[in-house]
Amino acid sequence: MKTWIIGGLIAATGIAAAGLVIGSQYEREDDERGEHEGNGSRYGFSRQDVAPVQNALYQEECGGCHFAYQPGLLPAASWQRLMNGLADHFGENAELDADTDAQLRGYLAANAADRVNTGRSPGIANSLRGDAPLRITDTVYFRRQHDELPARAVADNPEIGSFSRCEACHTGARDGSYDEHSVRIPGWGRWDD
């Protein structure tokens, strides 16, 4: 018998077989080990690995220059470090007015990997053991998930250029889905390790 988490409630048995699909469903036993890769595909639904960006201000301010990374990809301490360094945000001045800064800090902190219990976020937070990296690509979790992918496919690929461009390969990234079965690498095609 499988145990499922559905909207915060725990239910047992074949919900997927009955055709009921609610938000993000995960097999508890797989989630606890961080090995739920592809389970959504197996049952014919697209699951969210991290909560998608639901904040228009964040989407506008941060997503206007680069992919609006979901807060659940880093812990609150990382987001705080990023916000504290906006005067030199990876070589760019991204300073914000005080009100916008405060609103974004609140959104990022409340939805950070160590503050939510959604999909991959707890696994990301646990993999850091208190570290607060500035880059998602510097997390143990990210490196473990991408360890079989050669740099020439991404960083050296002129159609991508960096592992930080999640949306270039993960077709569902904007919706919070990073399922390996939906990866399409420009110039390489479908990737499945």
Q: Label residue 17 by pLDDT band (50, 70, 90).
A: very low
Rounded CA-CA distance 129/116 in Å is 16
For the segment 45-69, the average pLDDT, to the nearest whole number, is: 89
* pTM of the complete model: 0.74
Whole-number pLDDT of residue 24: 32
Tens digits of per-residue pLDDT, 59-69? 999 999 999 99
Which contacts qualify for 181-186: CB closer than 8 Å, 24 or more apart? Answer: 181/38, 181/41, 182/41, 182/46, 185/153, 185/154, 185/157, 185/160, 186/157, 186/159, 186/160
Q: 132 is written with which tokens? A: 């607060």
Q: What is the mean pLDDT of residues 19-29?
A: 30
